[in-house]
Structure 1
Amino acid sequence: MITSKKREGLGSKVFITQLKKFTGGIMPTLSKLSKAFLLPIALLPIAGVFLGVGAAISNAAANQSFLWYVGTLFNKMGDVAFGNLPILFCISVALAYTKDSGIAAITGVVGFLVMNGAQSALIHPALDSNGAAILGSDGRPAFALLWYGVINSGLITNNVGIQSLNTGVFAGIFVGAIAAWSYNKFHKTQLPQAISFFSGTKLVPIIAFFSVLPLSFIIMFIWPLLGAGLAALGVASGNLPMGVSSFVFEIIERSLVPFGLHHVFYAPLWWTSAGADIQATVNAASLEKFAGVVFSNGRDLETLKSTINDYISGGKTIGLGDQTAMTWVLGNLNIINFTDLQKLGLNLGQYQAGKYGFMMFGLPAAGVAMWLNVPKENRKNVMGIYLSAGFTCFLTGITEPIEYTFLFLAPWMFYGIHMPLAAISFFFAGFMGTHITMTVSGGFIDYIVFGVIGFASGAMSVMSAFGILIVSVAMGPVYFFAFYFAVKKGNVMVPGRDGSADAQLATKADFKESKGLNLDGSKIAKADNNEEARMVKARKLIEFIGGEENIIDVDACASRLRLTVVNPDLVNKEGIMSLGGSTGTLVRGKNVQIVYGGEQEAIKPRMIQIIDEQRAAKKVV
């Protein structure tokens, strides 16, 4: 007879089993979404350089002079990338979920155009019974949309030349998902003979053409309210004590790094009005409160409001979100600058600038601290590993070689030391008003482009541009002593110390790879001149992941090979590490992430090729 306690125990086990199944399925999906975001992000570094340098040149040159044209050319080349992020996200999401299908990318573009076209048909200027323009709460001519009657001009923008709702990157992400679904579902469909011309891939954009219509109407139903709510959130964050929003942001963002989901979290804050809305912030400011306050170019608040709203009324768009708003300011310093916005309570850079503090000096100092915990007789052997990882972090902001060393060996160091210190770096960067944007990393290269050049262009004050150096220099010794004593007192077996087999194995692979050797002492064959060695490694990886029958999907992001598997228990982490080149393997449900830092781009296509060949061979047999 089953007692009530046993029944409760069985119920708990069933619940836990179902929860594991759900999380095991959702992780690969979110992982792919995170990877999709990296595609447009990869374009932003060069676009940011052109935007910042172009603004600096054009602002310093005489109007319509040769240098002015050169600067304006650079500026607009960079601005067009940031101004069209929604459609770039649409395409990248479509690619990420369809194994880089070009058909899906074209379908995403079609869907994006149709969705915005449907909205444009139902958006028109709001007029009263006498045909006069109705003004919105921002004091500008408003628009009418369906039953809403009147919505502010800030909710309307030009998406690739189509007047539609300003949804930031959100709508593009959903359209990309619809494009991917259309491709995966219908690209092999065979229609009846009479209409067979439209079979297969030709059917995909047709399906998406109609599928985005419900999405377009859903957006029109909810966005006037949701968009206004996000804008209010972006404005309200400016009323918090400076640094608080930055601190909370980094606690959450850093905690998601081990799962590769931090891109999903910061996307709304970087690229939608939840992170910043310049027009809403300016129009929300009280004329009485700011009476007598002088803004850039000697303007008062009323003149500044008029300048911003006239810009938008001319069909132009101001970037929404912490990052896109900052890049827009860099390209339009004749309209507004960071000091103006800080006076109004918008602390641009609050979700970005703090990274410089621990990227440039904090984590490299942690690497030095770990190295000094290595016995003196072993330090010379592993010095190259620590120095290269620390310099890479300082220069480019790529943290994984250092972060994953202590994350895998002692997770408490990541969550108990690194995450709080990173949040403190964000707090002080926000508190000091260091309005510095970045591409995706926050290393020294980004600092030169956006900090030094940004200061030279007149975009920011001395404290805004160079205050982050104070934070960075201060975080260096804090990280050093925290990690030095944590490793020492916690007896953490960082690479180079005598310790467990796992720690020694990973360290040995990293060290020998830095010397150009495999674990067996043979030279690592370069992909350029030894295709066979790459194929052998890909085959061994498939074997250690449980064979081709255990692999559902193979993908890669900026630094990791990402796989979805049937049974995670079949994954042989020790075997994977023994192949060399990897700094760690993370298994979360059915999602497997192998950290490489570059080699994953060479491994991914070879694994896909081998898996396809193995499956084809089984069909023949």
Structure 2
Amino acid sequence: MSENKVEKVKHDKSGEHKSAKAGLKRFRESTMATLSKLSKAFLLPIALLPIAGVFLGVGATIAANTTEGSFGYYIGKVMNTMGDVAFGNLPILFAISVAIAYTDDSGVSAITAVVGFLVMNGIQSALLKHETGGTYGLLWWTGVPSGLITSNVGISSLNTGVFASIFVGAIAAYMYNKFHKTQLPAFIGFFSGSKLVPIITFFAVIPLSFVFMFVWPAIGKGLEWFGTNSGKLPVGLDSLIYEVIERSLVPFGLHHVFYAPLWWSSAGGSILGTMEDWAKSSDNPAGWNYELSSGATLQQAYDFLSGDQLKDKSQLIGDQYMMYWILGANNSVSKLAGFADKTDPLLTFTDLEKMGLNLGRFQSGKFGFMLFALPAGAVAMWLNVPREHRKSVMGIYFSAAFTCFLTGITEPIEFTFLFLAPWLFYGVHMPLASISFMLAGFAKVHVSMTVSGGMIDYIVFGLIPWNLGTNAWRVILIAIGMAPLYFFAFYFSVKYANVQVPGRAGEVKLFTKADVKAKKSEKVVGANQEAAIEKARKIIEFLGGEGNIKSVDSCASRLRLTVNDASIVNKDGIMGLGGASGIIAKGTSVQVVYGGEQEVIKPHMKDILAKQRSVK
């Protein structure tokens, strides 16, 4: 072969290699942007959970400790049911939020998602049939367990958790983006534009419904097997592995995508599946006659849970779902024949623990590092600040530590060291947080949470339902043990690695006085409003201008942006405006961590962008 031909072959191969690398890079960037949007979508229904969880837990306690029929009993029952309704309808809320997230907050897409959700479940309901023995038949499937069937907004259909609803929301968003500007011929012109979207979606979800009917009975059983057997790992290893992954995804804002299946699907376990396994276990010689703490037998409880009397079985799967069912109004032995005069819960966390279901294994570990440990880490960082500067930055560190203790919001602390020294996050914080989870799993702690692990959740889900066997006292022991580990690890890491935490060096300025003021109020008026508008304008400029910005959104603590090219984003410029504690820019996704101010910045940015684009 001639030298020219050899060179040509080398050149072609080099070009193919570069093309493949560029294609892989584009794929990673688009995947990151898509998952970032999905994580943001999850935040919409998740934002409802804290208040719903408080109503559920407090209401259940009031109802359980007052005379049935009394004023206090009905107050408790109303509160409990209000919270229960929110959790029982999470699937349709997820469908709506996914549709909204991918269509720039379109109300039409939200209605379309509801239509799609109802149609998909309605098709399944029409083809579902009862079988003898309490099982169901669906298409060619026979013997489908009752745990895989539930009532979705009153429609008996497959219990897919939040999986199917995510697909419904995605279809609704796609149909909206593709057809909401479509002009039909004049004789059917009435159905043009946004009116066309739900009509097309009505038909588009039909294949999706059949896909789930084809595969979900097998997938559901597989997820249930995983949820049951992962809980058999020794010494809390399942909890440790969970937190290694979950905490690693926090900097990218993708942790919501990871924990959703474990919290709200059979991947996190199943009450009915656990009871079936326990009835056959060699450790339970009584079999189905095994007596629960309520006095009912395992068979009586199973018949109630799997029968038609309990239509909504969605909360009998998933780690958080199941914990909230234990706190709910339906968890009462009075529902069984012959127990009408008893007010005891039908099942407790202790009952299920004895059967091998360790509820809270994907939640309870957060209390161990959020109550005392991470705040101790903040104090350790503060003690590394020179004495003459400590007073000026004391409010920043201690307010962040108290926020973490009270509410479980960790980002003000985590992002302080994440952006100054990422190895502190991945090499110190993540391993210690994972140990906290492992200890909670090993100690069989059954304290649920909403979206945090602070003192508020500890009181509501640990202390108030103490009688259900939460083992809440073990949380404090773990938290006390983790606190010195965090303190010394952070103190010496910051000191000897010379990490320039805020206040330690003049040029490091993650937080300012303006940041503290911004956290006290989400509204800026008068002259401050002009400053906020100017700040939004500057952020647009530093993002590369209107032409580089595709969408503007926000979540609990971040301004989430989709851009055409993140490489031209001026991170230093944005940080120099003040208020931000960090920036993640990757591919087409940019996230600016604020902690509250993003809710003011977002609408101003949208207004400015709209004006700039209207001029064009």
How far apart, CA to CA, are the structure 1 residues paired with 2:405 and 2:517? Answer: 24
How far apart, CA to CA, are the structure 2 residues paired with 1:166 and 1:516? Answer: 46
Task: Write the letter of the residue equivalent to 2:611.
Answer: E
Query: 2:323 maps to which residue?
Result: 326
Query: 1:535 maps to which residue?
Result: 533
Query: 1:315 maps to which residue?
Result: 311
Contact 1:235/1:281 (<8 A) preserved: yes
Q: Deviations over 1:184-234 (max 9, x none)?
A: 111111100000000011111101101100100101011010011111111
Structure-to-structure mapping, 1:76-475, within 5 angstroms: 76-126=81-131, 133=132, 135=133, 141-287=134-280, 288-292=282-286, 294-310=291-307, 314-319=310-315, 320-331=317-328, 332-333=331-332, 334-455=345-466, 458-461=467-470, 464-475=471-482
How far apart, CA to CA, are the structure 2 residues paired with 1:242 and 1:268? Answer: 23
Matched, 1:485 2:483: no
Task: Write the letter of the residue equivalent to 1:157.
Answer: T
Query: 2:505 maps to which residue?
Result: 498
Matched, 1:581 2:575: no
- CA shift, 1:309, in A, is 2.6
Which stretch of structure 1 is more off in the superposition, 238-247 or 156-165?
Answer: 238-247
How far apart, CA to CA, are the structure 1 residues paired with 2:522 and 2:268? Answer: 46
Contact 1:231/1:276 (<8 A) preserved: yes
- CA shift, 1:284, in A, is 1.8
Structure-to-structure mapping, 1:14-25, within 5 angstroms: 14-25=19-30
How far apart, CA to CA, are the structure 2 residues paired with 1:80 and 1:267? Answer: 18
Q: What SS does structure 2 have at the residue aligned with 1:75?
A: helix
Structure 2 gaps of 5+ residues are: 333-344
How far apart, CA to CA, are the structure 1 residues paired with 2:592 and 2:512? Answer: 17
Which among 63, 69, 72 is matched to residue 68 of structure 2?
A: 63
How far apart, CA to CA, are the structure 1 residues paired with 2:540 and 2:80? Answer: 46
Aligned alpha-carbon RMSD (Å): 1.9
- CA shift, 1:8, in A, is 5.8
Query: 2:565 maps to which residue?
Result: 567
Q: What SS does structure 2 have at the residue aligned with 1:495?
A: coil
How far apart, CA to CA, are the structure 2 residues paired with 1:327 and 1:515? Answer: 36
Q: Deviations over 1:379-416 (max 9, x none)?
A: 11111111111111111111111111111111111111
Contact 2:371/2:408 (<8 A) preserved: yes
Q: Deviations over 1:544-567 (max 9, x none)?
A: 111001111111111100111112
Matched, 1:13 2:13: no
Query: 2:335 maps to which residue?
Result: none
How far apart, CA to CA, are the structure 1 residues paired with 2:587 and 2:483? Answer: 36
Q: 1:325 to 1:92 in 2, by over 3 A?
A: same
How far apart, CA to CA, are the structure 1 residues paired with 2:575 and 2:310? Answer: 57
Contact 1:246/1:430 (<8 A) preserved: yes
- CA shift, 1:595, in A, is 0.4
Contact 1:454/1:465 (<8 A) preserved: no
Q: 1:370 to 1:228 in 2, by over 3 A?
A: same
Q: Deviations over 1:128-160 (max 9, x none)?
A: xxxxx2x2xxxxx21111111331111111100
- CA shift, 1:534, in A, is 1.8
- CA shift, 1:525, in A, is 11
How far apart, CA to CA, are the structure 2 residues paired with 1:513 and 1:478? Answer: 33
Q: Deviations over 1:255-278 (max 9, x none)?
A: 111111000000000000100211
Query: 1:130 maps to which residue?
Result: none
Matched, 1:47 2:52: yes
How far apart, CA to CA, are the structure 2 residues paired with 1:13 and 1:409? Answer: 33
- TM-score w.r.t. length of structure 1: 0.92
Contact 2:59/2:79 (<8 A) preserved: yes
Q: What SS does structure 1 have at the residue aligned with 2:143?
A: coil
How far apart, CA to CA, are the structure 1 residues paired with 2:47 and 2:209? Answer: 28
Deviating beyond 6 angstroms after TM superposition, the runs of 4 or more aligned structure 1 residues are 4-7
- CA shift, 1:313, in A, is 5.0
- CA shift, 1:20, in A, is 1.4
Q: What SS does structure 2 have at the residue aligned with 1:612?
A: helix
Q: How many residue pairs get matched?
A: 590
Q: What SS does structure 1 have at the residue aligned with 2:129?
A: strand
How far apart, CA to CA, are the structure 2 residues paired with 1:203 and 1:67? Answer: 50
- TM-score w.r.t. length of structure 2: 0.92
Task: Write the letter of the residue equivalent to 1:212.
Answer: V
- CA shift, 1:301, in A, is 3.1
Q: What SS does structure 1 have at the residue aligned with 2:606?
A: helix
Which stretch of structure 1 is more off in the superposition, 151-160 or 313-322?
Answer: 313-322
Contact 1:337/1:460 (<8 A) preserved: yes
How far apart, CA to CA, are the structure 2 residues paired with 1:389 and 1:31? Answer: 25
Task: Write the letter of the residue equivalent to 1:528.
Answer: V
- CA shift, 1:315, in A, is 2.0
Contact 1:51/1:330 (<8 A) preserved: yes
How far apart, CA to CA, are the structure 2 residues paired with 1:73 and 1:569? Answer: 53
Contact 1:525/1:533 (<8 A) preserved: no
How far apart, CA to CA, are the structure 1 residues paired with 2:49 and 2:567? Answer: 39
How far apart, CA to CA, are the structure 2 residues paired with 1:252 and 1:16? Answer: 26
Structure 1 gaps of 5+ residues are: 127-132, 136-140, 518-523
- CA shift, 1:5, in A, is 7.0
- CA shift, 1:74, in A, is 1.2
Contact 1:318/1:328 (<8 A) preserved: no
How far apart, CA to CA, are the structure 1 residues paired with 2:303 and 2:214? Answer: 30
How far apart, CA to CA, are the structure 2 residues paired with 1:389 and 1:483? Answer: 16
Q: Deviations over 1:345-366 (max 9, x none)?
A: 1100000000111111111111
How far apart, CA to CA, are the structure 1 residues paired with 2:98 and 2:578? Answer: 31
Q: Deviations over 1:398-439 (max 9, x none)?
A: 111111111111111111111100000000011101101100
Which stretch of structure 1 is more off in the superposition, 584-593 or 299-308?
Answer: 299-308
How far apart, CA to CA, are the structure 2 residues paired with 1:451 and 1:529? Answer: 44
- CA shift, 1:283, in A, is 1.4
How far apart, CA to CA, are the structure 2 residues paired with 1:105 and 1:495? Answer: 43
Contact 1:30/1:261 (<8 A) preserved: yes
How far apart, CA to CA, are the structure 2 residues paired with 1:375 and 1:454? Answer: 45
How far apart, CA to CA, are the structure 2 residues paired with 1:336 and 1:413? Answer: 42
